[in-house]
Structure 1
């Protein structure tokens, strides 16, 4: 079952020019005082920028400037011991900075806070409300299964009913996102939702009409321009297009050119020795190669290992039994072939016909087996 995450979705306002703009965040959380401190965390990593403010009678203030709106987290440490680690109680609140003045208020704690003066967060809340309603319906439908014994839950019929319930939930959630995009072309939340539902490797024929249906002002924001470039890359490698040619060296330093493999069906597989899902998929590729290589299948594995990881790359080839053609420019995540194919995450692959035309993308497991059976049996 494919489950869509229940995310906090962001809405970004329109900025045609990439210019810094000032913001203020004024807060009032009950009557909290020192030693409590509140932290504004710009990002999700421990290395993210952190601003600190003291709290006097529940009041605090943050000021700064941003290039465009961004997701942030407020962390309230009642002991004032830091945003991430240290003793004492902590509370968290996720929201989005945007230029202008944002007011955050709560009668008692950060977790009960509400925001005023922010179109970004107001519009985002509307979408979240629709998502929460769908979640409640799913929970009501699934509640009956909580009364079942572990043995009954394992019953095939029950499992199929549960799967069907989740499928309906996921379909409704996807439709909520899709409807929002179509009904709000002037809202930046539509761009963010589109990026979310399309994933790291957007299907160009499905995604492009939605993106180019957004208002020009949205598409010309920094985030919009970045996504436009991604889609242009996906267009060049969409099913039906001729595969862009490239050449990289094999482990012995000999160059291998993709176009030199024409006349065979070629699976171009993007992976790395450090990629756990990639390594888990390799046995399927080994079986496919052994079964169909004699019938005209070639595999070209393109590694995103870097120079420091060359030994690991070679060891993985040996351990996983990758007896086909392997190449890399040893530039890690900046691998030129991966960039040419707009690869933002691995594993990914493209399947080419004998002329070098892309006929399928991202086939793994049973999907790859089925496609190869269609071609060779």
Structure 2
């Protein structure tokens, strides 16, 4: 009923906020090469980066204009040499902003990075986020940056140094996410908070804390088209949300014996959806192995459902052996059409559900140390 009420609350604002608006992004740099080219880019520095538009200077100004139905976070990249090739190196002149209703101006001397942004409320909030959260994260990273600069080639290549880098990288990400979530909680009426929530959720809106954060956004923000889509997704997921009984299912194990989720009633069970071809799943498996061996004698086990297809049975068996997975494995070998996966509305993997001895879902999509933290709460 709560989800239905949320959907009803969204209906009226959609009528106004869902309307299209015109935007203009204008860049004015005093000392810029006349042949320079500016690019408007989605997902800059990612493998799926996409050039949305490009512009050459006219009377010293680069101008982008168009129509949107909600603000959009993009990067402006400046090719100073006019090579007509998108610069993707570390030193590229890049500036992130939001396309929003009205005119956004970047005014500076010779670089986007140091230009001042003049725009509406969305860009003002985004700049405020940069001046608070980003500055703190950069300060947090500074000791590691200095250590890296002092290290010679041999030291940087050592296993110990690489481990330090990875550990610091993970801590930095966690610190960034925690500060970002504080910003989101403090600014529920800002579109920037919705954009940042999509970022820190890492597309994992099944997790209860992400759903809670989404529900706390203002009705105006949740009325934008992308947010309405998520509200519909949350409604679709409501049958398998935390607090509900986990739907039962039956599938054959590696020897063809039929196994049901109900067979594990009386234990804490991690229902894990994965596949042999899924890199993130394989990366997560060592964490599952560690948790399994730590708690297997304390009323805990794992039931894994593979999304491998019929032609991938051998790869599935090899992955179980290679990763050392001692728990029960089942699959109907229908790939993404696995009946249990469809029943649990699995859209991406790895995906998991922690189920208590009474068959109730108590947590979803636990990654890394989060699984052990939950198990410690229930079993230690």
Determine the structure 2 residue equivalent to 1:221.
Answer: 224
Relative to 1, partners in 2 of residues 1:122 and 1:305: Cα closer, same or farther, differing over 3 Å? farther
Structure 1 unaligned spans of 5+? 1-12, 150-162
Give the 5 Å matches for 1:58-137: 58-84=60-86, 90-132=92-134, 134-135=136-137
Q: Structure 1-normalised TM-score?
A: 0.70
Relative to 1, partners in 2 of residues 1:98 and 1:138: Cα closer, same or farther, differing over 3 Å? same
Relative to 1, partners in 2 of residues 1:215 and 1:300: Cα closer, same or farther, differing over 3 Å? same
Relative to 1, partners in 2 of residues 1:51 and 1:273: Cα closer, same or farther, differing over 3 Å? same
Q: Structure 2-normalised TM-score?
A: 0.69
Relative to 1, partners in 2 of residues 1:30 and 1:303: Cα closer, same or farther, differing over 3 Å? farther
Deviates more, 1:43-52 or 1:253-262: 253-262
Relative to 1, partners in 2 of residues 1:243 and 1:18: Cα closer, same or farther, differing over 3 Å? same
Looking at structure 1, the residues matched to 373 and 108 of structure 2 have their Cα atoms a distance apart, in angstroms, of 56
Structure 2 unaligned spans of 5+? 1-12, 152-166
Shift of 1:251: 6.3
Give the 5 Å matches for 1:150-229: 174=178, 177-178=181-182, 180-198=183-201, 200-201=203-204, 206-229=209-232
Aligned pair 1:316/2:313, yes or no? Answer: no
Relative to 1, partners in 2 of residues 1:224 and 1:130: Cα closer, same or farther, differing over 3 Å? same
**RMSD over aligned Cα, in angstroms?**
4.7
Looking at structure 1, the residues matched to 26 and 376 of structure 2 have their Cα atoms a distance apart, in angstroms, of 62
How many pairs were matched up?
349
Shift of 1:242: 0.9
Aligned pair 1:358/2:361, yes or no? Answer: yes
Contact 1:30 1:109 in 2 (8 A): no
Determine the structure 2 residue equivalent to 1:21.
Answer: 21
Looking at structure 2, the residues matched to 143 and 322 of structure 1 have their Cα atoms a distance apart, in angstroms, of 38
Determine the structure 1 residue equivalent to 2:32.
Answer: 32
Looking at structure 1, the residues matched to 377 and 87 of structure 2 have their Cα atoms a distance apart, in angstroms, of 55
Determine the structure 2 residue equivalent to 1:279.
Answer: 282
Q: Show CA shifts across 1:230-280 (max 9, x none).
A: 544665444432113445565688875534554554321122223344324
Looking at structure 2, the residues matched to 325 and 99 of structure 1 have their Cα atoms a distance apart, in angstroms, of 52
Aligned pair 1:54/2:85, yes or no? Answer: no
Aligned pair 1:268/2:292, yes or no? Answer: no
Determine the structure 2 residue equivalent to 1:43.
Answer: 43
Q: Show CA shifts across 1:23-43 (max 9, x none).
A: 222221124344321111133
Contact 1:268 1:351 in 2 (8 A): yes
Looking at structure 2, the residues matched to 203 and 86 of structure 1 have their Cα atoms a distance apart, in angstroms, of 33
Contact 1:39 1:50 in 2 (8 A): yes
Shift of 1:209: 5.0
Determine the structure 1 residue equivalent to 2:160.
Answer: none
Relative to 1, partners in 2 of residues 1:46 and 1:24: Cα closer, same or farther, differing over 3 Å? same
Shift of 1:121: 0.8
